[in-house]
A and B are shown apart, each in its own frame.
Chain A
Amino acid sequence: MSAKTLRIEGVTRSFPGQRGGAPTLALQPTELSVAPGEFVAILGPSGCGKSTLLRIVAGLDQPTAGRVLLDGITVTAPGPDRGMVFQSYTLFPWLTVEGNIRYGLRERGLPEAQQAEIAARFIARTGLRGFENHWPRQLSGGMQQRTALARALANDPEILLLDEPFGALDHQTRELMQELLLEIWEADRKTVLFVTHDIDEAIFLANRVLVMSARPGRVKAEVPVPLAYPRDWRMKTTPEFGALKARLMGEIRDEVRKAIAAAG
């Protein structure tokens, strides 16, 4: 296989206890394989450890046990082969839209002309034309996340890690962003690991949905989404979509209840 495969082997994460208390287990031993070109959504209630899992894959957090392999090589630190988009707005405020998109390219030492060419391509693909020279603070939330997506894609990562990237956006903007992401994925078929708590979003985008249990998190169900690509928004009202949604809602409801009971 030429393209890379992601393997998560027995990854566990516990956080040290506060003031000598017992450590908190955030993530139970988790196994997962993602094939090249797959779009996998990780669905779960807040605090289930889904973001922790993604951060471990990114190399931003270290597992307490187990390991993450990307094409057979253990992940120990972040790298440009795993592009990430965060839920919070993480554009560099001192760089323009174009400057942000060129950040990783400059870091790799690409020549100016090539940086400009790649940036222009992703500015066009994410619908940011005309905003190249705007500062992040002049952009709406949706535009900021478009830029963050373009910045991650411009680095041509092996895998795209998306941590609730549309979580802070209003409903309409969120749906538009889902369509934009889908369009890009359908064209490039880049491997995607997408964390969300939005059931519609998970079904609409992914070809496989993993449901995580309440803390301590583990993958409690794996639901394939056998809906054909290219998909468009009308799909959200089909009976097939509805059936998948009903199934995932059932799985999630139990977990949310458990999470609330544990917190209370």
Chain B
Amino acid sequence: MEPLKPVSPATRVVLGAGFFAVFIAAWAAATYGGWVPPLFLASPGRTLLAGWSLLTEFGFLGDIAVTIWRVVGGFLIAAAVAVPLGLLMGAFKPIEAFFEPFLSFARYLPASAFIPLLILWAGVGEAQKLSVIVIGSVFQLVIMVAGVAGATRPDLVEAARTLGSGRLAILRRVVIPAAAPQIAETLRLVLGWAWTYVIVAELIGATSGIGHMIMDSQRLLDTGQMIFGIAVIGIIGLVTDLLFKAANRRLFPWAVL
């Protein structure tokens, strides 16, 4: 090991998988070895069995689908507002000065604290679930997109001006393409947070979804089901992350990501 010396992709995969193995081994040792009572922590085998029965007998795939649709729906609404607004704020400083103080205040408002209010306003239906995700991610997203757009290299803007670009052309042909890869990275990051909010929303006043299943399992003290539910979220997160990264490499071959 040398400081900052890169490793080969194969080594990276082996090492990354290695920690999963260590983690599961430690879990197995703790549960099968009798160190932790099954009431508190189910063994890997129990968890898989619980997961199998969830999927085959209790229609858990339907819960997963509902949760994914909520995350994607809320996230798309947040992105549709945040990306254009963030780009305008980054490019035009008066717009930034107008929105920035409010957003800096709003982004500290905890989305989960809105749940009682949102239930009052929107009931316990889909609108309330989507609202929690939108509130949780939109303010962060605007500020991060504005930061990315505002960091556009000024010398590229100047070059574009000497080539005949006006204000809107600079936004369209310089700021947006320059910011695009970083915006995609920001979206990837914030999508992870959206997963946290959806589960919080589903723990309270929900009749379907992964969070709802976890709540139900708690009543039955079925730690196997709870752990399986949590692991499913992790796996979905890992897969979306990989998809996002692959898409970014495809969309922005010019960038070094």
Chain B contacts with A in 139-176, Cβ cutoff 8 A: 153, 155-156, 158-165, 169, 173-174
Say whether A104 contacts B164, CB under 8 Å. yes
Q: When the two chains form their complex, are residues A94 and B177 in contact, meaning their CB atoms are under 8 A apart?
A: yes
B256 contacts partner chain A, Cβ-Cβ < 8 Å: yes
Q: Counting chain B CB atoms within 10 Å of each CB, which of A78, A90, A94 scores highest? A: A94
Question: Does chain A have a CB within 8 A of B178?
Answer: yes
A positions within 8 Å CB-CB of B:
58-60, 77-80, 82-84, 86, 88, 90, 92-95, 103-104, 107-108, 135-137, 148, 151-152, 155, 161
Instruction: Write out the residue numbers on chain B whose beta carbons fall within 8 Å of the beta carbon of A82.
Output: 162
Contacting pair B256 A107 (CB below 8 A): no
CA distance A56 to B161 in the complex (A): 13
| B160 surroundings in chain A (CB, below 8 A) | 92, 103
**Which residues of the other chain, B, contact A88 by a CB distance below 8 angstroms?**
155
> Which one, A58, A84, A93, A108, contacts B254 given CB within 8 A?
A93
B255 interface residue per 8 A CB criterion: yes
Number of B interface residues, CB 8 Å?
Answer: 22
Please give me the 9 A-B residue pairs with the lowest Cβ-Cβ distance, nearest first.
A80-B164, A104-B163, A78-B161, A90-B159, A84-B162, A135-B254, A94-B177, A107-B164, A78-B162
Q: Which of A60, A80, A92 contacts B156 (CB 8 A)?
A: A92
Please provide the chain B residues from 170 to 201 with a CB less than 8 Å away from any CB of chain A in the complex: 173-174, 177-178, 180
From known contacts A93-B254, A94-B252, infer whether A107 and B163 are also in contact, taking CB-CB under 8 Å: yes
When distances are taken between beta carbons in the complex, the residues of chain B under 8 Å from A103 are: 160, 163, 173
Alpha-carbon gap, A161 to B155, bound state (A) = 15
Judge whether A90 and B155 touch: CB under 8 Å. yes
Inter-chain CA distance A104–B174, complex, in Å, is 12
Q: In residues 206-239 of chain B, which contact A (Cβ within 8 Å)?
A: none
Q: Please list 20 pairs of residues, one from A and one from B, whose beta carbons are closer than 8 Å in the complex, sorted by A's number.
A: A60-B162, A78-B158, A78-B162, A79-B162, A79-B164, A80-B162, A83-B162, A86-B155, A86-B158, A90-B156, A92-B177, A94-B178, A94-B180, A95-B254, A107-B163, A107-B173, A135-B253, A137-B254, A137-B256, A151-B163
The docked-state distance in angstroms from the alpha carbon of A108 to that of B166 is 11
How many Å lie between the Cα of A68 and that of B161 in the bound state?
18
Q: Which B residue's beta carbon lies closest to that of A161?
A: B162
Q: A90-B156, A92-B159 are in contact. List 5 more A-B contacts (CB 8 A).
A: A92-B174, A92-B178, A94-B252, A103-B163, A107-B169
